[in-house]
Structure 1
């Protein structure tokens, strides 16, 4: 039963990550040396599942999964997914909203601004240098706040 559950979870994650069959097989080969989840032992399936779950969480296509019992660490894990620089960008973005300089605080609005600023489709794909550029641009924008 556990074997079936792991294989089903791996295939669900493959779908969420929108992996082509070739990319999926390459990932399996890279992680375990085997190109099929049915050829793997339990430890290898667990390794693949955990790796794919981590990728899906970082890409924002899956919620953090429960590993072990609920002990209050679930919230801490979801917050830890964003880097300190990403959280700084969000903080500055929300400050601009509080100051009346940004109307829409959604992720899509921030990602659109990030695309225009550093030519990356989403904040979560920014490199540390690009995040620094975003932070400095938001600070500069905030410094142009009109006097009331």
Structure 2
């Protein structure tokens, strides 16, 4: 089952959308009554439509409906996320965000809460993993330009 389909059905249960309404929303948003093979964009469109039926359950408007975090202004934090993406794309790690790794390395809950010294510690650790796995080609820099 794809991530989009899992998310769609989880939100359908959360909003308590009945079968008939669910099929109508699918038809209106993606043009068919079946959720098989739905894309993430289609699932997000359907979820926004669910919120119209039960607005009290809708997420706050500042929350990103796609589940992604807002981009950080700190270049060191962005570097941590970029290095984590290299590891994800290489199949080394599964989680979307490096929160558990950051917590293990620095005791901070998220990369957004790190000091520059802690960021450098995490960056160096991620670079070592990338080099060990052979994903980086040895040209990953930490200096600011």
Report the TM-score, using the length of structure 2 for normalisation: 0.43
